[in-house]
Chain A
């Protein structure tokens, strides 16, 4: 589904991703963990094309998409739930979802998203900047689904969500996986991240420093202490 090989990404002169290789197979959930400022978001930005890598290759569904503009990526079946939500402030909730729709025939429709997040249905005609933080997060997830993606990039989708909703998002993610979606997930909520993941990578200073299955990581206290700072 997604293959990254030897990505190097820079912000100006600062070298953030330093030779990163990783893949996501169809129907798989791969989770990225790591402390703040290690390059997780940068990874997401490099994949979708916001900050194209200076070196390395991004392959998606067998095509080399390294320097494609983001909207082509989306048309090709990728969707992003960005960090910090980034909903369209001056659009209503409904419009936020509508603009992201790619075709009329997809599985994800407005009613289906509103069914998934009833709270959004209540506020459908409100402008998105008037939503609470959690509501915006739901909107960002719903918006990504509206494009019927094959691969979903989720950058900390549970930030700011109440425990109930965190669990709900966990269920949504599991459900999406069952439908055959591939997901690359960046997450700080360890229990959630580990419960849905097929494989886990830990990112530190722009490099992958640990890869394993979730159970192995759970058991590996040294790695957890060293790279995640959890005892």
Chain B
């Protein structure tokens, strides 16, 4: 194993982890803040990719695709929260089931609208190149993903941890009724959180569509990854989601590179182990 191997594989893992962070941070937000186990989160990722794809086909603009994907899926999230999930507030299991129902419907709708063929989202020329450093070659696009994830992570951290809005969100989680009783517009807060979480997943979907592609089944393929990240890091903890996504990205990458025959275990066995030792994840609180 040369140094080159370790550097390149670490880079691969980091960039994959960065993509996972985009996906998982939204899940963690919805999950931690609203106690909703959103099994439709993978669908947001997939639908975001599809919307982005359609926009690129029409306009040729990758930026437009990012924006449109995020906005469109945020609207879907708003609709789901406003019209359906809100009625079940506090009923964890009912909400889980409902999001499964949505996930199934989204899966079928995507099939109906975009057909079952796999696609990749064409990238703008600026993101297509390769950055070389000596013998090492880093695809520009993967660097781009790392940059985006870092920016998103920083912005989220500032809002949630440093502002009154963040505290209001958490208050709404702790005691929804009483939060209203101190004047917090809980319905608006929930809606905002849900929209943001959905938009983040969609952003991940468009960006992921550039190198993982957009295809039916992507929804349920990425979902376990997102959950592993969030759980390993600890529910609703933003630092947890960051560490979790990096850990999972690296673990998955090195697992596949070094022990491909164990790849069905390299993700889940460590997760089971972590949870067995720390039943609330690395950063989670009971």
**A contacts, CB < 8 Å to B:** 48-50, 69-71, 74-75, 79-80, 82, 86, 88-91, 95-96, 98-100, 102, 143-144, 146-147
Contact = CB atoms under 8 A, between A and B. Distances in A.
Contacts of B185: 71
A206 B124 CA distance: 70
B174 A144 contact: no
A147 B182 contact: yes
8 contacts: A69-B180, A70-B181, A71-B184, A74-B183, A80-B182, A89-B174, A98-B167, A144-B182
A71 B186 contact: yes
A217 to B, nearest CB: 30
B164 A80 contact: no
Given A74-B183, A144-B182, 15 more contacts: A48-B181, A49-B180, A50-B180, A50-B181, A70-B180, A74-B181, A88-B179, A91-B167, A91-B170, A91-B174, A95-B167, A98-B164, A98-B167, A99-B171, A147-B182
Contacts of A82: 178, 181
Contacts of B181: 48, 50, 70-71, 74, 80, 82
Given A48-B181, A74-B181, A99-B167, A90 B173 contact: yes
B221 interface: no
Nearest to A80: B181
B178 A86 contact: yes
Interface in B147-185: 164, 167-168, 170-171, 173-175, 177-185
A128 B174 CA distance: 11
Contacts of A146: 182
Contacts of B164: 98-99
3 closest cross-chain pairs (CB), A and B: A74-B183, A70-B180, A100-B182
A70 B177 contact: yes
B183 A50 contact: no
Interface centre among A50, A88, A102 (most CB of B within 10 A): A88
B280 to A, nearest CB: 13
Main DSSP-derived SS at the B contact region: helix
Interface centre among B168, B173, B180 (most CB of A within 10 A): B180
Contacts of B184: 71, 99
Interface of B: 164, 167-168, 170-171, 173-175, 177-187, 285
A146 B164 CA distance: 14
Nearest to A144: B182
Interface centre among A70, A95, A144 (most CB of B within 10 A): A70
B183 A88 contact: no
B171 A74 contact: no
A100 B178 contact: no
A74 B187 CA distance: 15
A90 B33 CA distance: 11
A49 B180 CA distance: 9
Interface centre among A75, A89, A99, A143 (most CB of B within 10 A): A99
Nearest to A127: B285
A67 to B, nearest CB: 14
A74 B182 contact: yes
Nearest to B186: A71
Contacts of B285: 90
A91 B184 CA distance: 14
Contacts of B174: 88-91
Contact of A88 (B178, B180, B186): B178
Contacts of B179: 88, 99
A102 B167 contact: no
B90 to A, nearest CB: 13
Nearest to A149: B183
B204 to A, nearest CB: 27
A146 B168 CA distance: 14
B186 A86 contact: no
Given A75-B183, A143-B182, A99 B175 contact: no
Contacts of A79: 182
Contacts of A48: 181
B105 to A, nearest CB: 30
B178 A99 contact: no
Contacts of A89: 174-175
Contacts of B178: 82, 86, 88
Contacts of B186: 71
Contact of B183 (A71, A90, A91, A95): A71
A102 B179 CA distance: 13
Given A91-B167, A98-B164, A71 B180 contact: yes
A100 B177 CA distance: 13
A144 B182 CA distance: 7
A53 B178 CA distance: 18
A143 B186 CA distance: 17
Interface centre among B171, B173, B177 (most CB of A within 10 A): B171
